[in-house]
Amino acid sequence: MLRAALTALAVLCLGVLSAAAADDTDSPDRALADLLAGARAKIPTQCDSPDAGTLVQVLCSGTLRVGVRGNYPLFSTRVAETEERIGYDTDVGRAIAAKLGVEPEWIYVRAATRISTLAEGGADVVIATMGHNTRRDGEARFIRPHYYSSETIIVGPRDLEIANWDDVRERRVCSTIGNYANSHLVTQGVRLMLFEDAARLPEALNENVCVLAAHDDSFMAYYLGEPAFGDRFERKFGFDQVPWGMAVAQTGTDDFALALELISEIMHRDGEFLALARENGIFTSFLENQQVLWQSPACATVAALTDPACVLPALDATPPATRFAPEVENSVAWMKDNIGFAPELPMLTSVPAFELFMDGIVNSLILVVGALAATLAFSLIFGFFAALPFRASRVVAWGIITTLQSSPVILTLVVAAAVANTIFTYSPAVALGSAIVALGLMNGCNAGQAIGEAADSLRAEGRYGTGFSAALYWAAVRRSLTQLLSFLVNAAKGTPIASFTGAPELLSALTDITSFAAGRVTTYTMVLVFYIAVVFLVVWACERVRAKLEQREARA
């Protein structure tokens, strides 16, 4: 009886020890220790090897190069007096460096350069308020479990009624280049004004550059908490909840990525992420839920890093594809394989980008035709008053002409847009109309001056007397035909600048596309080719008109 009991006890102890051994083998702490020990063992021989991998290179250098935002309140800012970096992201970077036994080195990145910095080897890891979405999965390697989460919110004046997307459509919204939410915004008919630095968004709202701004709630919370800003502006609504991910380069980072994943799991389980968030005064509900999750038996193992029940999926930010996207992608792949170079054509592969692209072309053609018509009309109007022999009319005409000639083109466009938006509610039609008027005024006044000078010259020649007549006027128009046609060409060339005042022409549309898709070089090259073709067509048409008029005069 005693022997049987002792035997049962021994079996039970052996089972407990075996289970403990198995648990220890699958422990993230044990896995991390083994991974780092293996990497450190390579230091004597592989520090100078290009194939050593990022983890070994970090341990060899004793430095972890961390990409962080330059100025993102509560997450990464610099104390002017001490030059110290403070914020949640930088504290996370310090904690990870400490677990690796190295020192952090801060590499400043912007929203638009976070991923490119990794691809170019400028940083080992980026911890820079970057949402993890499916589009970015093809550009960088994201670490899971995620270290934070947020959603994009629309912020605007308290007295402005904004409840949903219908209230935002066709309004101008400020955002940042590279913001994952831009693709969602443009599909809702929003006109974007883009900035490189998120810190410009609150300034743009305060200065009435934008009526609304869109960015992470984590960023806007800081400013909305300040009385001067919070008294004027408020959160309207939010969308696209997205987990934040640290990111590393796609190649040479297998061991490094695994080390960061194990560290992230441990920091969630032990509440380190949560403690750092509380110290920096940011929202903690996501981290509280993550701590409970990673403390549970189901997620307390290394295997949990690949378990969908434990790790969050990336936000699905892939826009719907056009019906001809496969053919475009096959053509691009063929060019890359056979030529060694292929353009990126997001405007042909996704529905939102394609719709923006086609709208941009149509609006640009409307803008060009409108600018030509406005230039011709204003040139005839200014020319008429400048050609009159009456002193009062000529003084007024020359005063207006001189004022417009002295004003920079962009300033005239801005003033015209401001006046139009004061009278009418902003819409693409209003933006295009104000740009057409401004371009017509700028170029028409110059052509009108030429008509007035031609009229003075004809009077001096005595061919039409010293007064004013229709014959004199049309003779002056014919004599100044060269200048008139040149300013028509100039009006066509100047239409892309209308994008700076919100006119939804091609340059503006492609800027919106590149705010959420790659291929900036290709898209802006397309703008150049498009406007070269438009100007060439206008020049050809003007020359045809000149030739016909000269033939008619010769027959007369």
The residue with tokens 């959160």 is 235
| 64-98 pLDDT tens trace | 999 999 888 899 998 877 778 999 999 999 999 99
pTM of the model: 0.61
Q: Quick check: 6 pLDDT over 70?
A: no
**Which pLDDT value is given to residue 10?**
41
| 347-375 pLDDT tens trace | 888 887 888 788 888 988 999 999 999 99
**Which pLDDT value is given to residue 426?**
65
Secondary element (H or E) of residue 386: helix 351-387
Q: What is the secondary structure of 450-495 as a DSSP string?
A: HHHHHHHHHHHHTSS-SS--HHHHHHHHHHTHHHHHHHHHHHHHHG
| 204-242 pLDDT tens trace | 898 888 889 999 888 888 898 889 999 999 999 988 888
pLDDT category of residue 518 using cuts at 50, 70 and 90 = low
Q: What phi and psi, each to the nearest 5 degrees, are found at residue 494? A: -85, -5
How large is the average pLDDT for residues 399-415?
Answer: 84
Q: What phi and psi, each to the nearest 5 degrees, are found at residue 218? A: -65, -35
Cis check: omega of the bond before 145, within 30 degrees of 0: yes
| 275-313 pLDDT tens trace | 999 999 888 989 999 999 999 999 999 999 999 999 999
- Of 371, 389, 403, 364, the C-alpha closest to 488 is 371
- Angle, in degrees to the nearest 10, between helices 351-387 and 428-461: 30
Cα→Cα distances 425→153, 171, 418, Å: 23, 9, 11
**Which pLDDT value is given to residue 24?**
59
The residue with tokens 């289970």 is 19
Q: What is the mean pLDDT of the chain?
A: 85
**Which pLDDT value is given to residue 317?**
72
**Which pLDDT value is given to residue 522?**
77
pLDDT category of residue 20 using cuts at 50, 70 and 90 = very low
| 437-472 pLDDT tens trace | 989 998 988 888 899 888 888 888 877 777 888 888
**Which pLDDT value is given to residue 56?**
95
Taken in order 471, 474, 475, 476, the sign of the CA dihedral is positive
pLDDT category of residue 248 using cuts at 50, 70 and 90 = very high
**Which pLDDT value is given to residue 29?**
95
Q: Quick check: 412 pLDDT over 90?
A: no
pLDDT category of residue 429 using cuts at 50, 70 and 90 = confident
**Which pLDDT value is given to residue 182?**
82
Q: How far apart are CA 516 and CA 349, in angstroms?
A: 13
Is residue 512 within 8 Å of residue 350, measured between CB atoms? no
> What percent of the chain shows pLDDT beyond 90?
35
Q: How far apart are CA 217 and CA 492, in angstroms?
A: 42
**Which pLDDT value is given to residue 18?**
33
Secondary structure of residue 117 in the 3-state scheme: helix
**Which pLDDT value is given to residue 519?**
64
Minimum mean pLDDT among 41-55, 88-102, 332-346, 413-427: which range?
413-427
Q: How far apart are CA 59 and CA 64, in angstroms?
A: 8
**Which pLDDT value is given to residue 4?**
43
Cα→Cα distances 40→248, 477, 538, Å: 20, 84, 68
pLDDT category of residue 243 using cuts at 50, 70 and 90 = very high
**Which pLDDT value is given to residue 25?**
60
| 322-354 pLDDT tens trace | 899 899 889 888 888 888 877 878 888 888 788
Q: Decide which of 552 and 269 is more confident.
A: 269
**Which pLDDT value is given to residue 96?**
97
**Which pLDDT value is given to residue 219?**
85
Q: What phi and psi, each to the nearest 5 degrees, are found at residue 221? A: -60, -35
